[in-house]
Amino acid sequence: MEQYFEIGKITGTHGIRGTMRVFPTTQDPTRFERLKEIIVENRGKRETFHIQKVAYHKQFVLLTVKEITDINVAELYKKGTILIPDSLAIPLEEDEYYARDLYGLKVITDDGEELGELTKIYVTGANDVYAVQKGPEEKELLIPAIKDCIKKVDLEEGTMTVTLLEGLR
């Protein structure tokens, strides 16, 4: 079964002709310009739409699709999620991973100590920060996603090996 990436959330409409206002959840909002079609998941249902025009307003992508020409129809898709198939995902560089693949990894130190499971990823200005928790009652351990800390990611084994810099505990 094919997997999908979320690249945006429909937050509302723009104008009266059915243009959707989309908050991009992708690192590269211009990727909408390279797509011919998108899948919108809304209320448990998925529909394919053909992109007619892409524009930008503030932090939003304004998306016009051939199938929607009226504001009232566009309103029905508010809070919908925009998806693309894995085959259209931006290729990764060496030592890059899709965030969705990191959630749930067992995090261990290079000494073999189990720190817990990667539960959240905080996106900051400089680098991401991984939140690791042993259990629901335990405090989060925050580990910066930098080469000094993240030594190895093994998606097949489901593990991330880290070095804890002084002061991280």
DSSP E strand boundaries for 15-149: 19-24, 37-42, 45-57, 60-65, 81-85, 106-109, 114-122, 129-133, 141-144
Separation CA 74–CA 121 (nearest Å): 32
Q: Which tokens is 19 given?
A: 């243009």
Asked if 32 and 49 touch (Cβ cutoff 8 Å), the reply is: no
Q: Assess if residue 93 is contained within a domain.
A: no
DSSP secondary structure letter of residue 134: S
Domain with 50 in it: what CATH number?
2.40.30.60
Count the neighbouring beta carbons within 10 Å of the beta carbon of residue 43. Answer: 8
Same domain, residue pair 12 and 65: yes
CATH code, domain with 153? 2.30.30.240
Model confidence band, residue 93 (pLDDT cutoffs 50, 70, 90): confident
pLDDT of residue 9: 96
Per-residue pLDDT tens digits for 36-87: 999 999 999 999 999 999 999 999 999 999 999 999 999 999 999 999 998 8
> pLDDT band at residue 98, thresholds of 50, 70 and 90?
confident
Query: Does residue 94 form part of some domain?
Result: no
Domain that holds residue 70: 4-88
Q: Among 88, 115, 130, identify where a domain stops.
A: 88
For residues 71 and 106, give the distance between their C-alpha atoms in angstroms, rounded to a whole number. 46
In a domain, 127, yes or no: yes
